[in-house]
Amino acid sequence: MLREDQTVWQCGTHEISLARPRVMGVLNVTPDSFSDGGKNLDHKTAVERGLDMLDQGADIIDVGGESTRPGFEPVDVDEEAKRVVPVVRDLVAAGAIVSVDTRHPEVARMCVRLGASIVNDVTAFTNPDMVNVAADTRCGCVVMHAGEVPGHANRRVVTLDSAPRGPRGGSAIGKDDVTGSGRAGAGGRDAKGKADEPVELTQAEKDALAADASVPKSDALAQTMSRVSRTAVAPTVRLVGGGRRFTLPESAPIMRQLMGFLGDQARTLMRAGVAHDRICIDPGAGFGKYADEDVVIQRATAKMVSMGYPVMCAVSRKRFVGAVSGVTDPVARDAATLGVVIAAIEAGARVMRVHDIATTVQALDSYWAMSHPDPRRAFVSIGSNVGDRLSYLSRARALIDAIPLTCVVATSHAYETDPAYGIATPVANCVVEIKTELAPLVLLDALLDVENQLGRKRFKGQEGHGPRTCDCDLMWMEGETHAGRKLVLPHPGLGERDYVIVPMEDLMHDPVRFLTHAGVAVAEQPDRVGRVRKELGEIDA
């Protein structure tokens, strides 16, 4: 099947398909993050929150131990490692795709050794030691722009043909009429070299400059981060004659600088031996940028996508989101965040870094289903060991075929198999191949509803091995890997279940080769569980 987008982000042992948007959950293990500081400082609480995010639909968990909020306090390596290492270790053990959000090479290397798949570096691998970490490992790399854009340019003013002319026929204002270098109060020069009159600072800008002055000058990163997401009022611009004001600064110089920097840093990684498909770029919303500039950058998402790297949209609860929505409380900006996220996805961004996983996943699943036809192949194992077993298999097949945005493509024969995993009696099993446009967790809920419709009872103390009228297990889904307490894909028992492998032989020529190519280790038949005893015939339509 030809897909609209075959991009894969290689992250350690994981291949993250970007055929549909992926959600990266923000897990701040800090006391001072701007929207959720302190909530997950305890490592057990943080791990529990990470597992909850996986069950809500997050594809990646991004663990950070140093806040980069305005005016943040830098954290030393030992303290950051103390915060993040236990969380990374436990989430990796749970099967999660873990990203570590750090600027310290020592912490990055330690976490990758523990199984973290991604290094999310707010300093964009400008540290040669961080480049070495990327080159020495197989981790995915997030290159983020965390600096200012050119001159914090004022909104442009153009001169109309009807504007007053100078004494020699020239325009009465310069070509852009941006006083100074584009920064308020920094007197500049006109075309004749005459100094412009300085522009009076607004109170908001005076407060902003005062905040900068309070940052320790010994820490360059702290100076940059103190300017994160500032939404100061734009400086007053002197309009002359027929000048016309625009609502946003000019895009070209901003995007030249930002895309040039991201491209340079990506090439630095590639020269060090990092494969192109391991690199993701992030324009760094709010980091050293005014709200107007962030809007310009977000509107240019398609241009960044054209660079050929996956693009991350990390706008969750940022100040510019509050500026365009009128929401002052960061925690209340999740709905506004969704609006920006959906616009970014439509422009080609494919990795969404957000705080509110449940709402984001629900919105993206609905949006994607409506706007992007995306049928994918999947296999469901159906089993029954009570009553009229073949009738239950047949009814389950019909109910699966009736799931919205889903159809049954083919059904294997039914087979009687040895009881496994503590089940007391032989089981009738089959496998159905389906096409579905549902997200994995949505499909799982639909399969659980099929079980409920067929009267499955779950008895306390017999979870997973009690008698069942029908059991529907989602075994494999095209382009999907997932971890969590609710769903694991591919199914962890797929490669050892004879009662899945043998029925799949009815659906394809060589299921062992197919699954091995998909990264599933398949056991030799004598070592499998639930071995097939006999064929029971076809499943009635």
Q: Which two tokens stand for residue 187?
A: 């007197």
Q: Which neighbouring-strand residues pair with 144?
A: 282
Neighbours of 260 (CB within 10 A): 11
CA–CA gap between residue 76 and residue 158 (Å, rounded): 48
Whether the model clears a pTM of 0.75, i.e. scores above it, the answer is yes
* Residues 6 or more apart whose Cβ sits within 8 Å of residue 256: none
Which pLDDT belongs to residue 2? 39
Which pLDDT belongs to residue 373? 92
Which pLDDT belongs to residue 236? 40
**Which residues in the chain come in under a pLDDT of 70?**
1-6, 32-41, 68-72, 150-244, 462-463
Over the stretch 36-92, which tens digit does the pLDDT of each residue have? 555 666 889 999 999 999 999 999 999 999 876 555 577 889 999 999 999 999 999
Which pLDDT belongs to residue 36? 54
CA–CA gap between residue 286 and residue 70 (Å, rounded): 10
DSSP state of 27: E
What is the dihedral angle through the alpha carbons of 127, 141, 262, 308, rounded to the nearest 10 degrees?
160
Which pLDDT belongs to residue 197? 38
Which pLDDT belongs to residue 184? 34
Contact 262, 179 (CB under 8 A): no
Q: Which neighbouring-strand residues pair with 24?
A: 60, 353
Q: Which of 462, 472, 338, 459 is nearest to 399 (CA)?
A: 472
Show me where the domains of the chain are located: 8-148+252-371, 160-248, 376-537
Which pLDDT belongs to residue 72? 57
Which pLDDT belongs to residue 58? 98
Domain 8-148+252-371 has CATH 3.20.20.20: yes
- Which amino acid is it at 70? P
Which pLDDT belongs to residue 457? 87
CATH topology (fold) of 376-537? Alpha-Beta Plaits (3.30.70)
CA–CA gap between residue 302 and residue 296 (Å, rounded): 12
Over the stretch 446-464, which tens digit does the pLDDT of each residue have? 999 999 999 998 877 766 7
